[in-house]
Amino acid sequence: MNRSIGLLSLCLLLIGCGPSMESQVVGNWRFSKELTPEETARVGGEEMAGAPGMVMVVRGKQAYNQDATYDAEVRISLIMSGPEGELDLSFVSKQTGTWKLMGDVIVETNTETSVTPGNAFTRRLMEENPGIGEEMIDSGDRTGVKIVDVNKYTMTLLDEEHDLELVLYREG
């Protein structure tokens, strides 16, 4: 009997002494994902649903800081194939804000966003159409992503709104 209690106590001690989810999230992460046309339509909405051959590529870095702030830099490229070849509409979005864990969900509150063109084609398009890119500026927005798995090397997140999974890789 004492042996069973001792084993149970040891198991509880080991489970309780593991790294917290928050401590596993804190750090610098990088990611890269090419979305299928179907995923691109889910993320981009109606205006992208009817664009055959359009894919979205997202690459970036995300830092979840110990002081509950975050910094992100993401390059978003919309690559469209057409009769004249391939067009790459590319933006770089930089965000800062705060984050907190609510169960297994990371809730981010964006406090500042900047969007700049990621290539010459996009720069020219933004100069000719000043409103392009403004919908990407979302200061004050709150978003949440579910942590599917996190360990010392990777973190898998699920954006349930768009049914999109993203794997982040720890830097350093």
Band of residue 148 on the pLDDT scale cut at 50, 70, 90: very high
At CA 28, angle to CA 27 and CA 32, rounded to 5? 135
150, 25 Cβ separation under 8 angstroms? yes
Band of residue 13 on the pLDDT scale cut at 50, 70, 90: very low
Q: How far apart are the first and last CA of the chain?
A: 47
- Residue 146's pLDDT is 96
All structural domains of the chain with their residue ranges: 20-170
- Residue 48's pLDDT is 62
| Residue 9 burial (10 A CB sphere; 0-12, 13-18, 19+) | exposed
pLDDT per residue as tens digits for the range 102-132: 999 999 999 998 999 999 999 998 889 877 7
DSSP E strands: which ranges in 23-68?
A: 27-35, 55-64
What's the pTM value of the predicted model, to 2 decimals?
A: 0.81
- Choices 2.40.128.280, 3.60.15.10, 1.10.472.10, 2.40.110.10: CATH for 20-170: 2.40.128.280
The dihedral formed by the CA atoms of 54, 56, 57 and 59, expressed in degrees to the nearest 10: 160
Residue 168: pLDDT over 90: yes
What CA–CA distance (Å, rounded) separates 70 from 63? 5
The mean pLDDT value for 16-38 works out to 88
